[in-house]
Structure 1
Amino acid sequence: MSSDAKPETGARRPTSWLAGALRPWVPIMTGEGRPLIWCWLYVFCVLCSYYVIRPIRDAMGIDGGVRNLQWLFSATLVCMLLANLPFAALARRLPRTRFIAIAYRFFIVNLLVFAILLSLGSHEQSIWIGRVFFVWVSVFNLFVVSVFWELVVDTFDDEQGRRLFALMAAGATLGAIVGAAVTATLNHLFGPVGLLVLSAILLEVSVRCVRRIAPVHRRSSHFRSEFTAIGGTVLAGISRTIRSPYLASICVYILLFSMASTTLYFEQANVIHRTFASGSSRVTFFATLDFVGNLLTLLMQILVTGHIIRRFGVTLTLVLIPALSAVGFAFVALWSTFSTVVVFSLLRRAGNFAIARPTREILFTKLDREDKYKAKSFIDTVIYRAGDQIGAWTYAGFESIGMSGGGMAIVAMLLSLLWLMNSLWLGRRHESGVIPAGPMEG
């Protein structure tokens, strides 16, 4: 943990015009305004970049065959495991601003390579390029978003997180809205190749934002000034997660969330495959779905999220989305129609990004610095995709024995109830201030 002294929360004073503009929703204190603006722009560009290409990924996944999706999820988990080691090695050796720049520019190069391959490949080759792209995007999106939140939970403390994380999540949502809208409106004009290039440009802008955060951070007495390498061992993220009951419980939270999400994703893919015949119409529908879902998320983040966290605390806020999921899957079990699946998917996605994600990030604010980068990265990427993997093959297994979508929704409802109980334990432990950690490594 940082040894830098922090002023008491009560000693902070509201900052100037930004505080006045945002006071109806969240109080901004002295020294928080400029870092908050650059963090907000950073995550806006990252999510905009991702949502420009997300509908392309989803459409390519269906074009390659809905029944092949579980194999793509398996490949994603393997790639995530392989990518985690060099990721941890970079985090160990480099200051975080340098680390973020190298990681993001690696992804930028990848995007440009995919743009070239898609422009030169034949129709048959594009199927396989699409499958590889599906896996790559599934790795890319978790890493780039996880890196943002790692920076944020290392920059802001628990009290600041309760006030500011929902506002940052709103920046992410606005970026997602713009990205989805761009793809929905420009897909027919520019095609996948042009959109991939645009995604790369947005990612480069996010790198420039990180560079602006660093000097602002150093000048502010309210933030940590740790710009040295994280240190530790390459495998520390795995070993520290296993040895800490608190981190292991966060793993369970992520696994149950991801398994339920994958079940809903497959059910949604099936109904969309039956409803829309062409790949282009699917890209447009996915982009429209993303746009509507993210607009709903933004409204929730602006109007309710901060108030809920501050009024009801971490525990009650953390259990809201598991409870919604249990009720939603019960409805899907009874009425597994296109409208039911799509509406539930929209509500659950909005609830996750507006309420569950900012609250979940607060859980990491009380951990030490190495856990915030290494253990958090391992949980956000490998554990998340392990949940996808389990959910995908469980869905495929149940489907192979003739279980209907309604039957699988019942299984997902039971998982959501377990998720709810896990959320209660995590929230209570966090609010108690007693964070059980595993043995520290030398």
Structure 2
Amino acid sequence: MSTLRPQPAPPPEPARGGERGFARALLRTAELDPGDGRRVLLAALWSCCLLTTNYTLRPLRDAMAVSGGVDQLHWMFTATFVAVLVAVPVYGLAVARLDRARLGALVHRSFALNLIVFFALMRGWLGDTPALELWTARVFFVWTSVFNLLVISLFWSVMSDLFSGGEARRTFGVIALGGSVGALLGPALGGSLALSVGPAWLTLVGAALLEIGRWSMAKLAAEPRPDSPEARGTEGKVESPPADDGPIGGSPLAGLAEVLRSPRLMALCAYVLLMTAASTVLYCVQARLVVLNFTDEATRTAAFAAVDLATNALTVTAQGLLTGRLIRRLGLRWTLAVLPLACLAGFVALALGPTLTVAFTVQAGRRCLNYAFARPGREVLYTSVERSPRYKAKSFIDTVVYRGGDALSGWAFAGLEGAGLQLATVAAITAPVCGIWALIAWRLGAAVDESATRG
């Protein structure tokens, strides 16, 4: 086996602006390597902007979903799935034809323009009839669901493009921490603005944050990669250089074929499908309980914002101190399995006591574990595949599979309710699904860990 010759240590460089103070503290606390700081901070800033936008809009979306009719949630999930089926080929065409910088600008600015249109609708500038308000609420629910998946999918596709496998295991938890900081800021903004100036203004905040996120992406892409040790794997082996940033080419619909050719991606599809089944049932149970406890849109928006705020306070601590350590020391099998195991316990608790407090607690725990562990763990998987699947297969899984699971689960929930089953019974039926999900998570993570050990 060939070995690498030891390289002389480079002379110390003056600290750049991005490597001062906070960056050095970040390196020590999160166990990052020298040279990680500036790139991680730029990636975390981009993530922060996206998640601040998402969580600023989420309470408004959830409140408008209730206003659009809780009995219509399964139809809104179906409409979201149809919208995803339209959006994914368009996104695939953009991936095939545009370089990374132009793709990022198109995605960010298109969604920002949409938000400005929603602002005009919500302010009544285009009409204020009850029918228009109802359909604005329903369209906004569908739009935010598609927006959230596409921009986050793009973000992590670029991360897997710019960071190697060894770097990803070390840094993705801290990068996701930037998103959790945004997820703390978002509910605070959403709750305060909804009660002070009105929910419509949240859309303009989101549009401004998307432009800052686009700038962060451009700066990150221009940042040079360190020569050593960041370009090396965990066992000292030099890893492949990062892919170029040009257009990928190929068919806009290649994502499905790439998934079908890869057993690992197929297993990831099953993981995501069962994850969405659990989260959608929990969302519907929570929505039912909210209707029973709150009567007006502003109070509902503030309540959802309070839950998000508490959730992300926990997530920040976990991502900053635990995510990277868990991935490196316990491997992906535990990183991926912790979420379904927690959801299994949560649905058992709901089956025993289906109250709003229990639902909010389970929802907070689920979101915390997803963002702190499951999401970074899933994204590490994509660093080991070619560049095309990072964008096309990933967007297919993150959108079509994800929202398809939403739609199927929404209809299943409606069917169970229609059959006269109580919320506690629905929760009891969902618990075994989480057990199957945990088994798939363990086997998927174990396969990746074994591949990394052999490599």
**TM-score range with shorter-chain normalisation?**
over 0.9
State yes or no: 1:77 paired with 2:95: no
State yes or no: 1:235 paired with 2:253: yes
Report the counterpart of residue 262 of structure 1 in structure 2: 280
In structure 1, which of residues 95, 109, 117 is the aligned counterpart of residue 121 of structure 2?
117
How far apart, in 2, do the equivalents of 1:289 and 1:386 lie? 26
Q: Is the 8 A contact 1:19 1:27 kept in 2?
A: no
Question: Bigger CA drift: 377-386 or 227-236?
Answer: 227-236
- Using the TM superposition, give the Cα deviation of residue 12 of structure 1 relative to its aligned residue in structure 2, in angstroms: 9.5
**Structure-to-structure mapping, 1:8-407, within 5 angstroms:** 17=20, 20-120=24-124, 121-124=127-130, 125-217=132-224, 222=231, 224=242, 226-407=244-425
Runs in 1 of length 4+ with deviation above 6 angstroms?
Answer: 7-15, 218-221
Report the counterpart of residue 238 of structure 2 in structure 1: none
Q: Is the 8 A contact 2:180 2:316 kept in 1?
A: yes
In structure 2, which of residues 406, 428, 432 is the aligned counterpart of residue 410 of structure 1?
428
Q: What is the TM-score with the length of structure 1 in the denominator?
A: 0.92
Q: Is the 8 A contact 1:92 1:234 kept in 2?
A: yes
Q: What is the TM-score with the length of structure 2 in the denominator?
A: 0.90
Letter matched to residue 62 of structure 1 = V
- Using the TM superposition, give the Cα deviation of residue 92 of structure 1 relative to its aligned residue in structure 2, in angstroms: 0.5
RMSD of aligned residue pairs (Cα, Å) = 2.2
Q: 1:218 to 1:300 in 2, by over 3 A?
A: closer
- Using the TM superposition, give the Cα deviation of residue 225 of structure 1 relative to its aligned residue in structure 2, in angstroms: 5.3
Q: 1:389 to 1:103 in 2, by over 3 A?
A: same
Letter matched to residue 251 of structure 2 = T
How far apart, in 2, do the equivalents of 1:76 and 1:298 lie? 29
Q: Is the 8 A contact 1:60 1:130 kept in 2?
A: yes
Q: Is the 8 A contact 2:27 2:36 kept in 1?
A: no
Question: Bigger CA drift: 89-98 or 405-414?
Answer: 405-414
Q: 1:219 to 1:99 in 2, by over 3 A?
A: farther
How far apart, in 2, do the equivalents of 1:86 and 1:69 lie? 26
- Give the unaligned 5+ runs of structure 1: 1-6, 436-442
How far apart, in 2, do the equivalents of 1:10 and 1:192 lie? 57
Letter matched to residue 71 of structure 1 = W
Q: 1:406 to 1:432 in 2, by over 3 A?
A: same
Letter matched to residue 82 of structure 1 = V
How far apart, in 1, do the equivalents of 2:182 and 2:63 lie? 21
- Give the unaligned 5+ runs of structure 2: 232-240
- Using the TM superposition, give the Cα deviation of residue 268 of structure 1 relative to its aligned residue in structure 2, in angstroms: 0.4
Q: 1:160 to 1:12 in 2, by over 3 A?
A: farther
